[in-house]
A and B are shown apart, each in its own frame.
Chain A
């Protein structure tokens, strides 16, 4: 039963990699990560923002909305969702955290529950910048081909940042709300 469960989780992660990254994860989860799956049962599952490259038209409203909301500055590079716009072929691929059931980033964090935390209400896996030391272990542990975790300097200190599903925002993720093409949706996961 346990084996069955692991496979399911691996596929789960891989499927989201396909949606968000455009390519499947080559390798499976490490032994260490698999062991951590056992702990996952205790972690609340969480919805995620899903980007649809067929509907996206690269306007980047999601990025500037995200950064305005979180950082009080509009910027593609402070945004927790990235749309890589290939201007000449008009291919738009989105990159945003999958909020994995088994959050490798959370397990990898040396200050688990202080820096990388699980939101009690929404289940969002989020980074508390006050505690984050910018060690990068979360990004390194991310199973996605390209980690949707980025780094910036805040008050002279390197910190990681990622999608937190706009925790605390009554209307949910702002990128989903403001996307004019409905290329972003919030997908619930329960159980």
Chain B
């Protein structure tokens, strides 16, 4: 055990090209960058040169944990993967993708806060990390296996309690949405980092550790964790009224004490026993889309049909029922492929059929036929026929296919920004009444991927709204929602419906963005933190509450006794803001990110929002961007960070480097 509280103390450095393994001290990066995404972004700033693409040996594939990983802090199984993503569009660029499970705690117990993997191996290998050591081992016999078999084989070799991260055939064949799989259903999904592992010929990472995470003040830490577990007992922040953990569900992550709908089910072992031997799966969100469909993808809805005269339609995805749905899902997981591809591809292929395109390169399109999907999943994973084209994402597929413009536009509708699937941007996939989609838009247009994997807190405020299309609660009182936001932001105007108070709303968006970056650095569950909105266990409790405020100091209360560092919530949020600005600086330096690039998706927001019909004209879009940049301390004209902001965040060296290439405001 190293002499740090909270952190393990070492970061593992691996070069697969020359087989060298070394370690460096975590103290070089913390507490300034906290951990997780923070450390990874700093390493990228120092070591990732402009022009490095996803499959280049120079691409640093980083598996990061934070101080909370492996501790009693609720949901402390979270880890994050960072690298240049092959999916990012139009430029392959640096981004992030979180996972749950047990690998992050195991890595800490093995003595490491993170692993940075550079180089590409010539032969298939896996990385065996155990108690302060790491070995690169032959994986010739594992190459070609599915994600479940790979884990089973490695566990047979290294012991049952070994934690394994691995890729399936989709990763080996560089499908741009190939996942890194872990346990039954945990995955680092959308960013396509499975394909980066494939390019590195890294089949798996196996971890076993017998150390521990030192706690500075155990009594205080236990008491804080108990208090926070009680605070989040209602579950994710969308759960206005929560339920206690049920007997048939398994949490997705270490030390998670709550019930939520991403859990794996463990009820009838025969009902779901298919394919690769798994019998349990994540119940909600992405994975059961084959089973249940995704109704809310329908666009436009009856609510706004009268006023909508646009050209793009999406639709609910086909529900194939539990039996077929489970089978398709398990096939996808075994192949190591993100479940989101079904929503995107379904809607787009259906649009093809609607527009008279019934086959692509001789492949008949039958999106409502489960056989079509069973076949297509394999074709994508092994890059056969049409699968080879779809494996590169829809927007890239459209560049290779001769198709009507409307279908190219539709592909961009499905993958609206940076090549990532539509996800809570208030348009194609899910409703977000104003002003909530204003928050999410600010994150979307300035981030490097679909940012809502880290910003559910922003978008889930809609569940506390009065009932509207798709969401909202009949049990909440909007005056109390406003009172809650007033406690957090000094004014309830930040949550007022409509387009007033843009300055206040964009400031709140920036604050929540800082919290998201802190969350991805500590790391804790995005669904449960930060606890701006509480959660109740009964209607009576909800009704009796003065407002719905949770506790924005929850992370701090655990961080201080864990690490022994006397940091305030303001200090921690500042660290989150530092990480966000460093990421921005990296994108400005390496990819020439600027206001023009941020504005490329403006057209998306000119379509009416589903629940209230709200949409943007160019003047309002620019007003929001102006205000958001101002809240961020970025230059309005260019979108670059300012020296004043970077220096205030102790990033003077970053400012100097941006100035040297003429990209500092």
Contact = CB atoms under 8 A, between A and B. Distances in A.
B245 to A, nearest CB: 6
Interface stretch (A66-74, A127-135, A157-165): A66-74
B641 interface: no
Interface stretch (B87-95, B256-264, B430-438): B256-264
Contact of A71 (B212, B266, B279): B212
Given A60-B255, A61-B72, A73 B212 contact: yes
A contact patch SS = loop
Contacts of B226: 178
A81 to B, nearest CB: 14
Interface in B229-283: 229, 245, 247, 249-251, 254-258, 264, 266, 277-280
A1 interface: no
Contacts of B256: 59
Given A75-B213, A76-B105, A88 B250 contact: no
A88 B277 CA distance: 9
Contacts of B183: 87-88
Given A61-B257, A73-B212, A68 B151 contact: no
B615 interface: no
Interface in A41-61: 54-55, 57-61
Given A69-B222, A88-B148, A174-B222, A77 B211 contact: yes
Contacts, number: 99
Nearest to B68: A74
A90 B250 contact: yes
B184 interface: yes
Contact of B1 (A57, A73, A181): A73
Contacts of A174: 222
B222 A65 contact: yes
A84 B151 CA distance: 16
Given A57-B251, A88-B184, A72 B245 contact: no
A56 B567 CA distance: 36
Interface in B397-444: none
B525 to A, nearest CB: 12
Contacts of B152: 88
A78 B212 contact: yes
Contacts of A55: 247
A85 to B, nearest CB: 7
A86 interface: yes
A73 B214 contact: yes
B109 A58 contact: no
Interface in A98-126: none
A181 B245 CA distance: 7
B101 to A, nearest CB: 8
A63 to B, nearest CB: 9
Interface in A143-183: 174, 178, 180-181
B212 A74 contact: yes
Contacts of B266: 57, 90
Contact of B250 (A58, A71, A77, A78): A58
A85 B277 CA distance: 17
Contact of B109 (A57, A76, A87, A180): A76
Contact of A87 (B1, B102, B277): B102
A68 B211 CA distance: 13
B215 A72 contact: yes
A180 B229 contact: yes
B contact patch SS = loop
Interface residues of A, number: 31
B155 to A, nearest CB: 8
B258 A68 contact: no
A72 B254 contact: no
Given A59-B254, A76-B109, A77-B109, A85 B102 contact: yes
A133 B163 CA distance: 32
Contacts of B209: 77
Contacts of B280: 90
B457 to A, nearest CB: 22
Contacts of B264: 90
Given A68-B71, A68-B221, A87-B183, A60 B213 contact: no
A67 B215 CA distance: 10
Contacts of B163: 87
B250 A180 contact: no
A13 interface: no
Contacts of B255: 59-61, 64
A88 B276 CA distance: 10
Given A61-B257, A75-B211, A88-B151, A68 B250 contact: no
Contacts of B277: 88
A175 B618 CA distance: 57
Contacts of A57: 245, 249-251, 266
A73 B215 contact: yes
Nearest to A82: B161
B18 interface: no
B254 A60 contact: yes
A158 to B, nearest CB: 14
Interface string B148-187: 1001100000001101000000000000000000011000
B249 A74 contact: no
B374 to A, nearest CB: 23
Nearest to B75: A59
B51 interface: no
B355 interface: no
A16 B114 CA distance: 40
A108 B577 CA distance: 59
Nearest to A57: B250
A73 B160 CA distance: 23
Contacts of A75: 70, 109, 210-213
A159 to B, nearest CB: 15
B385 interface: no
A129 B83 CA distance: 46
A180 B213 CA distance: 22
B497 interface: no
Interface string B358-389: 00000000000000000000000000000000
Given A60-B105, A174-B222, 17 more contacts: A55-B247, A57-B251, A59-B254, A61-B72, A64-B72, A67-B212, A68-B222, A71-B212, A72-B215, A72-B218, A75-B109, A77-B209, A87-B163, A178-B226, A178-B229, A180-B245, A181-B247
Interface of B: 1, 70-72, 76, 102, 105, 109, 148, 151-152, 160-161, 163, 183-184, 209-215, 218, 221-222, 226, 229, 245, 247, 249-251, 254-258, 264, 266, 277-280
18 contacts: A57-B251, A59-B256, A60-B102, A60-B105, A60-B255, A68-B72, A68-B221, A73-B1, A73-B212, A74-B70, A75-B70, A75-B212, A88-B151, A89-B279, A90-B280, A174-B222, A180-B229, A180-B245
Q: Which 9 A-B pairs have the closest CB atoms?
A: A75-B212, A73-B212, A180-B257, A87-B183, A77-B210, A74-B71, A72-B218, A64-B72, A74-B213
